[in-house]
A and B are shown apart, each in its own frame.
Chain A
C-alpha cells in the first residue's frame, strides 16, 4: 500500500493517507483533481468498483467533505477518496461517465445537501422526498425539530423526562443523589 500512497502523492498531490484497516485506506485530494485520481485508480490501479459516494456537512469548517469509496476486488482492498468543496458554492464535477451508477449518488447529494453536479443525468429530479419545499434536509443548519413542530400536528400530553431522575423518583426516592 505504501507504493500506491506514494504514487498518488507524487502524481496528484494526495495527502493524509491513512490505513484504517487491513483492507481499507483513506486519502484526501484537492477537489479539481478528484476526477483524475478516480480515473487513474480505476484504469491503472485496479480500483474498478465504485462502492458509494456520499457527503458530510462539516459546517464548522464551512465545507462539504465528499467521500468516494472505490474497491479493488483482486487485491481485496478499498480506498475512501475524500475531497472538500466550499459550503457556500456547493458545485462538484460529475463522475457519471466513469461509473454509470454514480448519477444516483449525485442525485441523492443534490437533494439531501444541495450539492450540484452539472451534467449529471436527472440530477434535479426528486430522489426520496416527494414535494419537498424546505431547504436540503441533511444540512446541519436545517432544524428538523422546528420544521416538524411547524408542519405536523402534535397530540397534546406528551412529556419527556430524564430517565435517571424519573427512575429514582419512582423506584427509590429515598436514595441519595
Chain B
C-alpha cells in the first residue's frame, strides 16, 4: 500500500511508559486500497467463504457460539470456524454486553486482527444497551468504539439467527460493502477519543498493532 496523503502524524502512545513506547507501532491504521475490480471480486468471494472467528467470548451471548460450532447447527459447513488468536481471525463476534474492562480487551483484540476484518455484534446489548441500559460499567452501543458490519438482534439470538447473520455478512463481503475496517481507519481519531473517554486507565498503545 502506498501513501497518497503523505505520512500521518505518529501516535503519541502516552499510556505507555517511555521505555516501552518503542516496542509498539506509532502509525495509525490506513484504509485498504482495493485491487482491480475483477481481482477484488474474486478475493471478496474467497474471503466470504472462509470466515474465521476470533474465539473470544466477550459476553453472555458467546454461549450461542457453542451450539453453532457443534453438530446440530454446524457452522463449519459455511466455512466458519473459530481461531485461538486475533492474528488468524477475520471475524470478531461481540457476544452481547461489553463492560468497560472487556471493551479494553475488545479494542486490543480488534486492532490486532489482520485485515480484511469484520465485526458481527450479537444481541440487544451491543445495539442499545439492552437490559444493561442503566449499568455503571457497561457501554450502551459498541459501534461508538469499534465499527460493526452486521448486527444480530435478540436476547439471545438463537443459532439460526446467527447463521442468518453470517449469511448476511457473506453477502456484504461479496458485494464489497464490508467497510468496517476502512471506517475505523478513516474515523480513527473519533473512535480513539470515544474509547479513551470510557477507558480511564489507558495503559496500552494507541494502536495495538
Chain A residues with CB under 8 Å of chain B are 128-134, 137, 142, 144-145, 147-148, 151-155, 157-158
Contact = CB atoms under 8 A, between A and B. Distances in A.
B100 interface: yes
Interface string B194-209: 1001111110000000
B23 interface: no
A120 B21 CA distance: 35
B100 A130 contact: yes
B144 A137 contact: no
A155 B198 contact: no
Contacts of B135: 144, 148
Contacts of B134: 144-145, 148
B128 A153 contact: no
Contact residues on B (Cβ < 8 Å of other chain), bracket: 20 to 34
Given A130-B100, A130-B104, A154 B137 contact: no
If over half of A's interface residues share one DSSP class (helix, strand or loop), that class is named, otherwise mixed; here it is: loop
A52 B97 CA distance: 28
Contacts of A142: 136
A113 B104 CA distance: 24
Interface of B: 100-101, 104, 127-129, 133-141, 144, 194, 197-202
Nearest to A160: B133
Residue of B137, B194, B197 ringed by the most chain A CB atoms within 10 A: B137
If over half of B's interface residues share one DSSP class (helix, strand or loop), that class is named, otherwise mixed; here it is: loop
Contacts of A128: 101
B168 to A, nearest CB: 20
Residue of A144, A152, A157 ringed by the most chain B CB atoms within 10 A: A152
B141 A155 contact: yes
A152 B200 contact: no
12 contacts: A130-B199, A131-B201, A131-B202, A148-B134, A148-B140, A152-B138, A152-B139, A152-B198, A153-B194, A155-B141, A157-B128, A158-B129
B25 to A, nearest CB: 23
Given A131-B199, A152-B140, A158 B101 contact: no
Contact of A151 (B127, B128, B133, B198): B198
Residue of A129, A130, A144 ringed by the most chain B CB atoms within 10 A: A130
Contact of B200 (A133, A153, A155): A133
A29 to B, nearest CB: 33
Contact of B133 (A129, A147, A157, A158): A158
A152 B200 CA distance: 13
B136 A154 contact: no
A134 B144 CA distance: 22
Contacts of A145: 134
